Amino acid sequence: MRIRFKPWARPELEASKFYIDNPEEYKGKWRKLFNNSNPIHLELGCGKGGFISNIAVYNPNINYIAIDLVDAMLGLAKRKIEEEYKLANRKIDNIYITRYDIERINNILSKEDGIERIYINFCNPWPRGKHRKKRLTHTRQLEKYKEFLTEEAKIYFKTDDDDLFNDSIKYFEESGFKIEKKTYDLENELDFWENIETEHERMFKEQGIKIKALIASLN
């Protein structure tokens, strides 16, 4: 998603206590940063923060890391997180957001961090051809995630794009993941998971586009 430059975003992020500007320094040390032994879940491409702000505020016993590459997006995510925690009358103590290129994610996470879950929501589908390796679910990326995921880890993936979804199923299988659940119509799938709608998800549903989703595990 393209978004206009927001001059306030960078100063607000730098002043925020839950924004990490130097994530490479925390590789293998995220548990120490959270200062507890709670599970750590990761969102790749958090956008404006609609998903991560809702899931984190209602799960105080889980730690969350949300990554995006665009300051403007992260600035909006920061404000959304602050808004949701204020509404819940909660201190922001189980989430960090950071700016980083997900293609280089192994520079900021390791097995010592013990990531137990990854959320990938409506990532860029990238056209088939030379750009397909940029997909966050591509085999090349999945192999990188395996380097820091726990043995019991799961990946939760949602998309509106049929080609990306079908290709992703192949990517997961090629990388040794097991598809535990999948659906081509998440809205009408009962007991699939406790779904939190994103801004994109609502937009696509209003357009009559069915949401595809899957859960993949290493074991």
Question: Could you state, in order of their start, the residue ranges of all structural domains in the chain?
Answer: 9-217
pLDDT value at residue 119: 98
**H or E stretch covering 152:** strand 149-159
- Rounded Cα distance between 190 and 24, Å, is 40
pLDDT value at residue 55: 96
* Chosen CATH of 9-217 out of 3.40.50.2000, 3.40.50.150, 3.30.1280.10, 3.40.50.720: 3.40.50.150
C-alpha distances out from residue 147 to 142, 177, 214, Å: 9, 13, 21
pLDDT tens track of the chain, all 219 residues? 567 888 889 999 999 999 999 999 999 999 999 999 999 999 999 999 999 999 999 999 999 999 999 999 999 999 999 999 999 999 999 999 999 999 999 999 999 999 999 999 999 999 777 889 999 999 999 999 999 999 999 999 999 999 999 999 999 999 999 999 999 999 888 777 778 888 878 888 888 899 999 999 987
Q: In what order do the strands lie in the sheet with 95-99?
A: 19-20, 95-99, 63-68, 40-44, 115-121, 149-159, 212-217, 178-183
* The overall pTM is greater than 0.85: yes
pLDDT value at residue 127: 78
Query: In sequence order, which ranges of the chain are alpha helices (DSSP H)?
Result: 9-15, 30-34, 50-57, 71-87, 139-146, 162-174, 199-206
136-142 long-range contacts, CB within 8 A, separation 24+: 136/44, 136/45, 136/102, 137/164, 137/167, 137/168, 137/171, 137/172, 138/171, 139/171, 139/174, 139/175, 141/102, 141/103, 142/171, 142/172, 142/175, 142/177
Query: In sequence order, which ranges of 100-198 are alpha helices (DSSP H)?
Result: 139-146, 162-174
Half-sphere exposure of 144 (CA within 13 A, CB side): 20
pLDDT value at residue 2: 66
CB 106 within 8 A of CB 134: no
